Structure 1
Amino acid sequence: MREMKEELGTDKLKIIKYVQDFHRYIWPKVDKLRRGYRGQKQDLFILEFTGAEGDIHIDNREHSNYQWAHFDKAVETVHEVRKEQTQKALTIFYYAGNYHH
């Protein structure tokens, strides 16, 4: 939640679902040398935004913009490298019983 507040500028978020070790990847060799790490492990938080549009203040060092997307269109809106993880997250969200048309 701390990182979400830093990147989105709001704490008006409610945790719906948490998945530990959601995604892991190994960086290419050049990145391993530069960063000093082999890769990264990511956890997944599915959050409900409980605030108003004006409560979001994105950190431009992390993100250039944001947009809201309907559940059925979310995969189409993300960068190609994030599509698989986005689909996986949406499936978890759907089967957790949190999606209502």
Structure 2
Amino acid sequence: MASGTALIYDEEMTTHKLLWSDPVCDIEVPERLSSSYEQLKCYHLVERCVHVPAREGSEEEILLVHSLGQVSCLCFLPASCAPLPWQSMRLKKSLIEVSIT
């Protein structure tokens, strides 16, 4: 198994944008990620990292860092929003019901 610092980056990550206006979340812009990546490249740190391909996180992985309430909200975004894996309602129905009540 490789050891070192892992880097997960895909240009697709820079296409995500906040869907509403919230001053608290003003920092959540695609440039935050792309500028950080450019700095890593500038200092030749990218080539020193172990590259890990980006992939969609499993429900269990996402629930390690986000609350059930946050994840449940994504299930009910309007259809006009970009398609999300949660819109297929893969989360267990009982988990969603518990978080809503």
Structure ranking higher in strand proportion? 1
TM range (shorter): under 0.3
Structure ranking higher in helix proportion? 2
- CA radius of gyration, larger in: 2
